[in-house]
Amino acid sequence: MDYFLTNYNEDYCKKSIIRSPNAPHDPEFKDPAAESFKNYLQLSSDPTPMEDQMENADDYLHKHEKNHPKLAKIYFDKPINNEVMTKDFIFNGRSMYQCDYCDLEKDNAYKEEIRQKNLFRLPDDWDIPLSSHRYSHRNPVTINPNAMERTKIPRVPNNLDPQPHIRKILKVQTGKTEYGGVIGDLGELIMNDELHGKVTLV
């Protein structure tokens, strides 16, 4: 019995472990960060079209269900909610700052609005500006021939305007000059009652 041994060394014997040599392992992608942004160049003279590198998600799901029926019964018994998957994809593609402080739903709706606008094409004879000046100061007649026509504004009747027959009954003389009240009224009487014959319009 060795009195200089600790309880650990006395109770637990050392076991020698032979470390296995490091096996070389080549990664699937040489540059994983840039692999998703790789675009394959296809020459126009190549008759055979290039196969799509991305497999359709629904096709892959059906293939997985066929190869692993037990897992498909456990996890894919209910149909996948595409809306949840889309929201999860949106959150995974954003930074922590965007997820905490930005309105991702509003940003997604804004990008969807831009995508819908890009579906429409302008007419072939549309006036496309070639400079920033023409973009900011385009001739409106080129876009709309009736752009410079003035819209007719109908006159709205106002009860605050003076009405001649009411002023005559009330004998209101406010706003009338001496010339207009004497000569003007006399001339209006002569023309309305045709005292000197019928007045012809000039």
182: confidence class by pLDDT, cuts 50, 70, 90 = confident
Distance CA 49, CA 35 (A): 21
Q: What is the pLDDT of residues 31-43, one digit of tens each?
A: 777 777 777 666 6
Higher pLDDT pick, 199 / 106: 106
How much is the average pLDDT of 157-176?
A: 75
For residue 196, what are the contacts with CB-CB under 8 A and spacing of at least 6? Answer: 190
Distance CA 163, CA 142 (A): 46
Distance CA 43, CA 116 (A): 31
187: confidence class by pLDDT, cuts 50, 70, 90 = confident
Cα dist from 158 to 42, 120, 155, 167, whole Å? 75, 47, 9, 16
How much is the average pLDDT of 142-153?
A: 80
- Whole-model pTM? 0.25
- Rounded to 5 degrees, φ, ψ at 175 are 85, 0
Give residue limits of the domains in the chain: 57-119
